[in-house]
Every structure is written in structure tokens, then in C-alpha cells.
Amino acid sequence: MENNQLPPNIKIWHLGLGFANSNVIYSLIKSGVTEQLRDSSKSLVQLSSDCNLNSSILFRVLRFAIAIDVIVLTNNLYSLSDTGRFLLKDVPGSINGGMTLTGSDPWQKSWNNLLHSMHSGEPAFDTAMGSPFFDYLNDHPEYGEPYNKWMTTVSTMASKAITEAYDFSTYKTICDIGGGHGMLLKGILSINPNLNGILYD
């Protein structure tokens, strides 16, 4: 049943399980399960052995992944669904980077700190991690570099829709503030070569 066809109380329950969805996806990526299923289907025994995982826990995680259309089970063999293949690193439209960040410690702690932020007015990330967001990324390149790459991916995905939906031809100069690697600006200028572009990040 599609999510928009569910009774309202079940729909809100599904929405509330979002944290579980993201953690299952993150764990499948970080454990190597998604890469093991890149080119072939595997049994539970094969998969748990190849990834050095507890088979009982992996079985439960895979059941959850099947329910959210990430994994498919056919004749006792597990494979990536069409949706799940976007968790692979190098496929067109991959969201591997974004899902890896979503499940990482700083992101999880920040969202868990949201209620405190609502009461105090303090940024959730700052109080959870002890420093402002971009300062933290600069000090922790293991998160900063993937974040920048993911923002480039998001800009690339959004660029076509934005350039088709909005007419930039009436302007002389476009400035993308916080534009990262400039992929959105590049997309705009490719359609409107008469414009001057300024990238500020």
C-alpha cells in the first residue's frame, strides 16, 4: 500500500520510523552489504560471512530493508532493489554520500538535540558537537569532504529542474552564495551563456 493511501494514524507511525529507515540504510552501506550485492545475489550465510556480520541480526536488518524497498529476497537470495542500487557509490544519481552523512554520528547527535534547541534557541549542531557546523566540518575532513561532495551532487540533481522552471535570461549577473563547487551556477550559465556568474562560498 502506498504511503498516501494509509490511514492517518498508520501514516504518522511510518513517518515516525524515519530514524530507523536512515539507520538501516546507513548500516547496510557501512557494513559493506550494498557493495557485496552490487553484481550478484547472495544468501544470508554468504552475506554474513563476506561482511563478517552476525547472521541473526543481519537477517532482521534485511527484513526491515525489504519492507522499505531497499532489498529484494528471491528464492532465499538477497539482492538490491532498483531503489537500493542508488546506495552504490558510482551509479548515476547515487545518494550514497547523503545517506552516509545522515547516519553519521554528528548528524544523529544533532537531530537528537533538536528538542533542546527548540527550548533554548541554540543551534542543535553547535550544542551537540561543541562547535558551529562549518567550523566542525573544517576541523573534521572525514565529514567535511563528504559533505561538500554531497552538496555538489544535490546541486547537480537540482540544476536541471531549476533551470527549466525559472527564466534567468532577464538578468545580467547571477551570484550563487554558499554555492559550494558551483554546479548549480554552472547549470544556469550553460543555459544562459549571456550571463555573468559569481560563485561565493
Q: Which residues, other chains included, contact 67 with Cβ-Cβ below 8 Å and sequence gap of 6+?
A: none
Q: What is the pLDDT of residue 3?
A: 62
CATH number of this structure's domain 3-82: 1.10.10.10
Q: Which residues, other chains included, contact 28 with Cβ-Cβ below 8 Å and sequence gap of 6+?
A: 34, 61, 65, 70, 71, 87
How many separate helices (H) and strands (E) can be counted in the chain? 12, 4
Residue 80: strand, helix, or coil: strand
Report residues of the chain scoring pLDDT below 50.
none
Q: Determine how many CB atoms are found less than 10 A away from the CB of residue 62.
A: 20
* In the chain, where the domains are located: 3-82
Q: Which residues, other chains included, contact 27 with Cβ-Cβ below 8 Å and sequence gap of 6+?
A: 33, 61, 103
Q: What is the pLDDT of residue 105?
A: 95
Q: What is the pLDDT of residue 182?
A: 86
Q: What is the pLDDT of residue 181?
A: 79
